[in-house]
Structure 1
Amino acid sequence: MATTTLPLVLILLTLIPLLTQAQKAPAPAPSGPINITGILEKGSQYTFLIQLLNETQQLNQIQSQLNSTSQGFTIFAPTDNAFQNLPSGAINDLSDEQKVQLILYHVTPKYYSLSDFLTVSNPVRTQASDKDGPWGLRFTAQGNQVNVSSGVVSEPINNPLRQKFPLAVYQLDKVLLPTELFGPKSPSSSPAPKSSKTPSKTPSSATVEGGAPAPASRKKDDSAAGRNGGFGFVVGFGLICMAVLT
């Protein structure tokens, strides 16, 4: 009997420390809300993007929608170098509304893993899209490499910062410039040249039948003939009177 009791005691002595440690181990903390800023700050090269998200007030908007969406979100995160490589004034020249559109263009109202982009149907709507569907993105795949295109720039997707539903965040080395803001502008119609009207000149000379101006030489001849005819008539009339009186 003593031989049987000894192994049981040894087993109990072995289990007591394990049970004590199990009681002291903290329960896993419930997962809190997703911190988009924390994800970007962990990447340490998204200062300008975070600034734009805050400036346009879209960070809080997306953050709050994550708690209620059943589709999830996908964020394309351009690095600080991506913004610095833009032409001078490309961002500062945008209006407040256009900055909001630019940020929303980098967010899709659906969660996409990298493998989802291999079979996605183009164009993919973004948060900037309206009901008719512009402001879309296009994805192409070559093997396992996925490229995203805005129509102005094309960039490979290589580095997922987060890839877990309901949020995926992918690093981009270029800013996705939408054609609606940065595409070629349609040439503005140049105003039709004003027709140069030559002012009509009022003829200073008299006109003859048919509207043609009478030649100046003809007018002078007619005037001289009239004067000569009148003088001859006066002389002739005087001679006749003298003959009668004689």
Structure 2
Amino acid sequence: MATQFQSHVCKFLLLFILQCIITTTTLAQAPAPAPSGPTNITKILEKAGQFTTLMRLFKLTQVGDQINTQLNNSNQGMTVFAPTDNAFSALKSGTLNSLSDQQKVELLQFHVLPQYLTTSQFQTISNPLRTQAGDSASNKFPLNITSSGNQVNVTTGVVDTTVANTIYTDGSLAVYQVDKVLLPMDLFGPPSPAPAPTPEKKKKSGADDDTPATDDSTPSADASGAVGFGGHLHGFMVGSVGVITLIALFCL
């Protein structure tokens, strides 16, 4: 009996030790929780849906990479206004194709603010807002945002729209849905008026006149180029009459 009891005890201990080894090995091989990846504007838009055209343009112009790099390598927040696929479809046919590569970059950068803004902060901002596209003071890329209650209005001087939805916000990046493409004045505004022509200077008279004064005593040329001798002929005739008169008096 003692031998059987010892055998059962040994088997139990062996099984217990084997179970401990298996459990320890399993726990050692279990992967640690994966760290949250870097912020990626494309993945955010892909998860939200209905932003296929914007994602394609971000990739084509590399503006998406610029946003990701800036977010993950600096403490500067950003705000992105994301037009939906329907917003791009509503543009006049050929609008995007008419833009150069640089103009496409400027168009997308016009949708990006180099600061993080919540919807409540829209009530206290100073317009016009500076975008990644650059100059806002000389009526090239002005973006104006006003807030009334729960409605946030966005205007560019060419397009007026509202913020339709908050897609993403994490304290560093805010992405808001807009139902129109934000068209900047510099690319889609009315053309600048042509400069007024410079008035021609009036021709001076008198001594400054380029036309020389005509002297009646000098021969003049008519249209055929012939020279007139009116003054000399008159003198010749007067002289001839005088000679004839003297001859007639002498003969008498």
Settle same-fold status: TM greater than 0.5. yes
- Trace 1:37-116 onto structure 2 (pairs within 5 A): 37-116=42-121
Conservation of the 8 A alpha-carbon contact between 1:129 and 1:136? no
State yes or no: 1:167 paired with 2:177: no
Q: Which residue number in structure 2 is paired with residue 33 of structure 1?
A: 38
Mapped partners of 1:63, 1:53: distance in 2: 11
Distance 1:115 1:224, change over 3 A: closer
Conservation of the 8 A alpha-carbon contact between 1:83 and 1:175? yes
Q: Which residue number in structure 1 is paired with residue 129 of structure 2?
A: 124
Calculate percent identity across the aligned residue pairs: 48
Mapped partners of 2:199, 2:137: distance in 1: 38
- Alignment RMSD: 3.9
Structure 1 gaps, min length 5: 1-19, 209-218
Distance 1:230 1:95, change over 3 A: same
Q: Which residue number in structure 2 is paired with residue 188 of structure 1?
A: 194
Distance 1:203 1:135, change over 3 A: closer
1:227 alignment partner, one of 205, 229, 237 = 237
What is the TM-score normalised by the length of structure 2? 0.65
Find the residue that maps to 2:72 and give its secondary structure: coil
Conservation of the 8 A alpha-carbon contact between 1:123 and 1:136? yes
Distance 1:59 1:226, change over 3 A: same
Distance 1:228 1:36, change over 3 A: closer
Find the residue that maps to 2:107 and give its secondary structure: helix
For residues 147-176 of structure 1, the C-alpha deviation after alignment (integer angstroms, 9 at most, x for no partner) is 122232221102122122322211111111
Mapped partners of 1:190, 1:144: distance in 2: 47
Q: Which residue number in structure 2 is paired with residue 237 of structure 1?
A: 247
Deviation at residue 137 of structure 1 after TM alignment = 2.6
State yes or no: 1:142 paired with 2:183: no
Q: Which residue number in structure 1 is paired with residue 216 of structure 2?
A: 206
Deviation at residue 28 of structure 1 after TM alignment = 4.6
